[in-house]
Structure 1
Amino acid sequence: MFIGDVAKRSGVSARMLRHYESLGLVRPTGRSGSGYREYSGETIRRIFHIESLRSLGLSLRDVRRALDDPGFTPAELVDDLIRQTRDRIAAETELLRRLHRIGAAEPAGWEDVLQTVALLQALGSKSAGVRQRAALSAGEGVPVPVEALVDAVLSESEPNVAGALRWALAHMGEDGPALLAKGLDSPAAEVRERAVRSIAEIPNDEATALLQGALTHPDIVVCRCAALALGARGVADAVPTLIDMIVEEGNDVDASDALSTLAADPALADRIATGLVACLARDTIGPSARRRLTQALADIPGTTTSRALAQLSHDADRGVALTATYILKLRDAR
């Protein structure tokens, strides 16, 4: 069979067959009287084997080893090909993600494209200072996709950079909360905490709704962070969690401050006072928790609080009684 027939049957061009011959991968069986290369059926099978191995990503050098070395074992080479393929897929996936993000920034021209690419590269820098400057630039209006900022803040461990990223997200559009919400379901505790802290700094109704949902989150850190943020926003749903935080001594000072902020609303002041007093009456509450609850009453206005403090000033626990008495004096002096 001549080279043209082999090329048609195998799908390998005559030029490539000559290249294989120059490398010693295939050899013509002989030549015709006119000088044309002739190939046997065995050589044609070898060509098919070469193409099959090339389809797996093997170099021509590795193909030759595989076909000609009797001691060749493919396991190590296949493992290496798997690694290379995974690396290539990861690189292509990252490129695709970057292209999507550049498109999402809706660049008006190549200058915008270059600016967005530079910012994306800076967000992934090993330098915390470079990442922080990139975050600040994004917050000041340099075009960058919200998704890129969300990924950055969920993976950022350096506090100052994380703060700059949260600030930038708070100045972006409406997509931030929905993207950050996915972080609340992360298997990594640190990612869940970063997500809820970022949501807490976005001042819109969608973020508030997500924080309200986070009050029942199984991760207590997420739950408490959401409660503190909701307290600052004047959302009454946070009251039970904030009281529990005081009982359990989990950010209890911040929780007391949040209750004080909420109690500025007269409609909530009595509800908060009633909740604190109800906790004080539980048999399961220890002495230190009762003192913290009593201290929390200090900034809660209203007659319910005053009556509770008057009763607590005679409490069997001397620490509680002294605390209540001191608070009453301060309230009388106002």
Structure 2
Amino acid sequence: MDLSLYRAAIEGKVDIIRQHMTNLEHQLTPNNNTVLHVAAMFGNTECANEILRYSPSLSCRVNIQDDTPLHIAARNGCSGIVEALVKCTTIDEEWVGAGKEMLRMLNKENDTPLHEAVRNCRFDAVKLLVEEDPDFSCPANKAEETPLYLASEKGYDKLVSLILETCTEPAYNGPDDLHGWTPLHFAARFGYASIVNQLLEADKSLGYIADNDDKNTALHIAAGHGHIDVMREFFEHCPDCCEMVNASGRNFLHIAVEHDQTRATGYILGQCAIVISLINQKDIHGNTPLHLLATSSYPALRLISHSGADTNAFNKANLTPMDDSFLLPI
């Protein structure tokens, strides 16, 4: 790329850019960045507007990573340039059809500009993108991440809300990895109660999805990490998911006890309508939550003294929770 043009795009010198208007299409950096890419990198909105006036076709040009200028502007949070790019394809008759194509273009990681904006928590850029194309059910990238998944995993509750409120069909899926966690699993893991609330309000069926390995639901995950505020959201939106057990046959009370979550266990025991069906439920080894106390540091008295607890329940090793010789099989 011509040195004076490159510097002009970096420093925002529009007058110098005008001197190169007849040759912009062929000016490239070693990574195939156009002058519009460079303006987006450095957030020079005035330069971007001027370039788009004369060469709107540069809006869809890709660099060596298949990034468009919109990918770069969204990643860097240059909302002025994001807006300029969106307006360019809606105002210029020749490029009206390219608008949605540009918004949906994938780079080499299969990221859309929306992925980039969400990953870097660029609220204004996300707002512009989803409002311009609300019907786009954004696909997962190579890492199987959707924008909603990224926002949930990172705890960006305002972005979760924006996506759920604006997009007509947001994709809820997440990576098909060793865990197979959904956005709800991640929100539950990190205690993002506000995000859990929004996800369940949008689609309560998410509360019944188990992961790939241990078949834990998001409620199991919340119980294992002691997130009481998150558990409340499940009781409010899908209370019957409390009945679900994981691959070991354990309900979420089992999990809270197993992971020494004292406060969470106490909270669950206070939910009278729920705890009756959980407190004596046996896992695949025949162990009730009481049996798990044998390997837990949880103060046993409250659980043992609960009116519904069967302290004489036998597991498959023919042991009760009260046996001094009890050793939990793992």
> Which TM class, normalised by the smaller chain length?
0.3 to 0.5
Greater gyration radius: 1
Identify the structure with the greater helix proportion: 1
TM-score in terms of structure 1 length: 0.40
TM-score in terms of structure 2 length: 0.40
Greater relative contact order (Cα 8 A, min sep 6): structure 1 or 2?
2
